[in-house]
Amino acid sequence: MDNDIQLFDKLLMLPLFQGLSREDLSEIVAHTKFGFHKYGRGKTVLRDGDVCDHLYFLMNGHLNAEHEADDHSYTIIEDLPSPNILQPEHLFGLSQRYSCTFVTKTNCSFITIDKNETMRLSDEFIVFRLNLLNLISTKLQKVGRIPWKHQPQRLEMRIGRYIENRCQRPAGEKCLKIKMDRLAEELNETRRNISQALRAMEAKGLITVNRGEIHVPALEMIIKAESATR
């Protein structure tokens, strides 16, 4: 009974279960096959290309989501805090595989639900179905807005936008592993201009630069700085 109460409370933390009645949640807890997993720090939970046949709910801890360019020329690593759901949009559609590698940054715990159970919950509970559709639709709409956003003119802000467009969430810690020449090529700029812009951003405390690596302590600060320049 105590375990059921704890699971009940944990489900209330997740957007897919919000809005369900207490009776519905009790039925879900009683009849759904949940998986429970714990990982120590530095463990790989999922790899880029793994089949997405479960919903992974991060309940406690922080993950690093590592996303690599198709030509392997650069990688973005971003911090994902709990509670979180790992790429639920990949459960359906053209490519039902994860597009990131997820590595634990701290000790982490997960609840998982396989695809068949997810489909059953969608059939039996309309609120769950609407929550799932809203979650996936919101992600797709955010991606669809990217080409229509105002394009910043200052190179510093273009670098920030470049990082933002490749992250799952527009906030938190990020790390872009890329060579200076490649970043210059991506932004159609000279290496010298890129170097100057990075130094200016570092002087403002927006980033720190090491060899082949740009560390962003808080992406929202770059976005805020961009908004202030408009």
| Average pLDDT score over residue span 171-195 | 96
Residue 99, token pair as written in the block:
């597009």
Check residue 1 and give its pLDDT. 42
Check residue 32 and give its pLDDT. 92
| Average pLDDT score over residue span 150-155 | 88
Check residue 2 and give its pLDDT. 43
Q: How confident is the model at residue 10 (pLDDT cuts 50, 70, 90)?
A: confident
Region(s) of the chain under CATH 1.10.10.10: 150-228
Q: Lowest-confidence range among 164-168, 174-178, 213-217?
A: 164-168
Check residue 199 and give its pLDDT. 96
Instruction: Write out pLDDT tens, residues 188-215.
Output: 999 999 999 999 999 999 999 999 999 9
Check residue 151 and give its pLDDT. 83
Give the percent of the chain with pLDDT over 70.
Answer: 97
Q: Evaluate if residue 184 carries a pLDDT over 60.
A: yes
Q: Is the separation of the CB atoms in 43 and 69 below 8 Å?
A: no
Class of domain 150-228: mainly alpha
Class of domain 2-146: mainly beta
Q: Evaluate if residue 150 carries a pLDDT over 70.
A: yes
Check residue 5 and give its pLDDT. 56
Helices (H), 125-186: 126-145, 155-164, 180-186
| Average pLDDT score over residue span 103-123 | 96
Region(s) of the chain under CATH 2.60.120.10: 2-146
Query: What's the pTM value of the predicted model, to 2 decimals?
Result: 0.90
In the chain, what are the helix, strand and coil shares in percent, each to the nearest 5?
Answer: 45, 25, 35
Distance CA 219, CA 171 (A): 5
| Average pLDDT score over residue span 137-143 | 90
Q: Which residue has the higher pLDDT, 75 or 149?
A: 75
> In the 8-state DSSP scheme, what is residue 97?
B
Chain center to CA of 151: 23
